[in-house]
Amino acid sequence: MEKQNNCQFELFSESGVSARLSGYKADKTFLAYIRYYEKTLLVIIGIVITGIISFSLGVERGKGLSMSSSIPIEQVQQIKAREETVKEPETPEKDDYIIQLASYKTRTYAKREAELLKKNGLSPLILNKGSYVVLYVGNFPSRKTAQSLLSELKKRYKDCYIRRL
């Protein structure tokens, strides 16, 4: 008896499996599938990396702009004018109020920010609190007078608040 060399591809016509395999390699592994779309994937990865880098540079630039900007002198003058025009009834309060603006790890940053506040007509105060240096502004007789300046300072210092001295 003679051995017959049967091939499974003979069972199907040319338009079937063999035609589909002619465009791809015979082994359909995941890597072979990815290689087919290699250029597209590289372009997508490049776009994502470019987006991440540009976003992080924009965040850093935004931080630099927010730290370098200061309160315009006109706003400080308007605040002082409001404080002078609004006379509130004198209530005997023993405590003075201040506005805590920010806390820093080093004294140099606090001094730099205090100089900007002095240029704008405010009276900054720098105190040590543990391992931090805290920047304060003003010496207000009541909470209401401190509140008028607080609303303007919140534009630059998001977490500032009123404290007793």
Q: pLDDT of 13-64, one tens digit each? A: 555 544 455 554 455 777 777 778 888 889 999 999 999 999 988 887 777 6
Partners of 124 in the beta sheet?
137
Q: What does the pLDDT read at residue 53?
A: 92
- pTM listed for this prediction: 0.44
CA 150/CA 100 separation, integer angstroms: 10
Q: What does the pLDDT read at residue 6?
A: 60
CA 157 from chain centre, in angstroms, equals 14
CA dihedral sign of residues 13, 18, 22, 28: positive
Backbone angles phi, psi at 85, to 5 degrees: -75, -30
Domain 73-164 CATH class label: alpha beta
Four-CA torsion 17, 19, 20, 21, nearest 10 degrees: 90
For the chain, state the CA radius of gyration.
Answer: 35
> Which tokens go with 150?
């607080």
Where in the chain are the domains?
A: 19-67, 73-164
> What ranges make up the beta strands (E) of the chain?
97-104, 124-129, 132-140, 161-164
